[in-house]
Amino acid sequence: MFEHVQKRHRVFFVYIGGESPLKEKYIDAASELIVYTYFFSASEDVVPEYVILKEMPAVLVFKDETYFVYDEYEDGDLSSWINRERFQNYLTVDGFLLYELGDTGKLVAIAVIDEKNTSNEHTRLKSIIQEVARDYRDQFHRDFQFGHMDGNDYINTLLMDELKVPTVVVLNTSNQQYFLLDRQIGSAEDMAHFIRDILDGTVPAQGGDSILQRLKRIIFDAKSTIVSIFKSSPLMGCFLFGLPLGVISIMCYGIYTADTDGGYIEERYEVSRSEIESQEPVEESKEQEPSDGATLGPRVQEPKDVLEKKKD
């Protein structure tokens, strides 16, 4: 049955031993991660003879035609260790797989190549990454995941730059940092030395998830979306962006002309008001002229008693 499982699954975990606190942790981790990988339990006599266990109980992962034993002191939490080890050491990487690898906490060393290109440079970089993943497994498998990616379209969106192909890039998918080659890679030893420098911190990291990088990401994503729309369907792009711009232009023109008309009307009102106010003093002076003349002229009075005296 073990041989049957080994043929069916490229990666699977096995708990070996009886009841123990480790088994309870294993069951909890299996319940959490059962959708990602395969879990089994067995007795010691089930595993092949080449499997050497220093102590019991134990948790093992079988992959890449070999096995690794969980060490609580070196590997930490069992669930985190299973999450890191549930992938093969070398993979054909795509966007979805990179997203999943972000949960492992590992750095991902990727040979970015064109699989249709059979030139020596493309095949050489891929072979170097495969050789490092195989021959330096014990040194790097806890911290690194290896693989290759066909084409640079997805990588360009992550790096927000045009990456030259073929090349090697090391990604930290947990914080969006990346490391680019700063030297010529001629052999697996050169690549292993570059990886050690990354672990030592001597190779500067680029990118990240700072506020500035997030703003750059927003601008880059918006620009990429607009360009892709116009490339795929120019008419649709003109409609999507032309219609809102046209509506906004009409609204701005309407607001501007409304303000101009309102200012003209207000100006005419002020002119009319000033003309009316200037005419009012003239009319008042005309009304005052007859009254003033009456005061200046002789005042004629014919009282009744004077007439009666004359009559008498």
In a domain, 130, yes or no: yes
Q: Are 123 and 111 in contact (CB under 8 A)?
A: no
Domain boundary among 64, 86, 108: 86
* Per-residue confidence band for 175, with pLDDT thresholds at 50, 70 and 90: confident
In a domain, 258, yes or no: no
Q: Are 53 and 16 in contact (CB under 8 A)?
A: yes
In this structure, the answer to whether residues 194 and 222 fall within a common structural domain is no
In this structure, the answer to whether residues 76 and 96 fall within a common structural domain is no
Give every CB contact of residue 218 below 8 A, 6+ residues apart in sequence.
Answer: none
pLDDT at position 268: 59
Q: Are 14 and 83 in contact (CB under 8 A)?
A: no
Mean of all residue pLDDT scores within the chain: 80
| C-beta neighbour count of 299 within 10 angstroms | 6
Strand (E) or helix (H) holding 177: strand 177-180
CA distance 298 to 312: 27
pLDDT at position 252: 85
pLDDT at position 115: 82
CA distance 95 to 93: 7
pLDDT at position 40: 94
pTM exceeding the 0.85 threshold for the entire prediction: no
In this structure, the answer to whether residues 151 and 172 fall within a common structural domain is yes
Q: Residue type for 99, please?
A: Y
pLDDT at position 232: 75
CA distance 68 to 142: 11
In a domain, 135, yes or no: yes
Indicate which CATH number applies to the domain containing 103: 3.40.30.10
Q: Which residue is associated with the tokens 């930490």?
A: 76
| Percent of the chain with pLDDT strictly greater than 70 | 81
- Where does residue 270 rank: exposed (0-12), middle (13-18), buried (19+ CB within 10 A)? exposed
In this structure, the answer to whether residues 68 and 174 fall within a common structural domain is no
In a domain, 229, yes or no: yes
- Where does residue 237 rank: exposed (0-12), middle (13-18), buried (19+ CB within 10 A)? middle
| Percent of the chain with pLDDT strictly greater than 90 | 21
In a domain, 94, yes or no: yes
53-82 pLDDT, tens digit each:
888 899 999 998 888 899 888 888 999 999
Range from 206-220, 227-241, 276-290 carrying the lowest mean pLDDT = 276-290
102-154 pLDDT, tens digit each:
888 889 999 998 888 888 888 888 899 999 998 888 888 888 999 999 888 88
pLDDT at 47 over 50: yes
In a domain, 257, yes or no: no
The parent domain of residue 232 ranges over 212-247
In a domain, 262, yes or no: no
Q: Taking residues 176-195, report their average pLDDT.
A: 88
In this structure, the answer to whether residues 203 and 217 fall within a common structural domain is no
Count of structural domains within the chain: 3
**What phi and psi values does residue 174 have, to the nearest 5 degrees?**
-75, -30
In this structure, the answer to whether residues 61 and 103 fall within a common structural domain is no
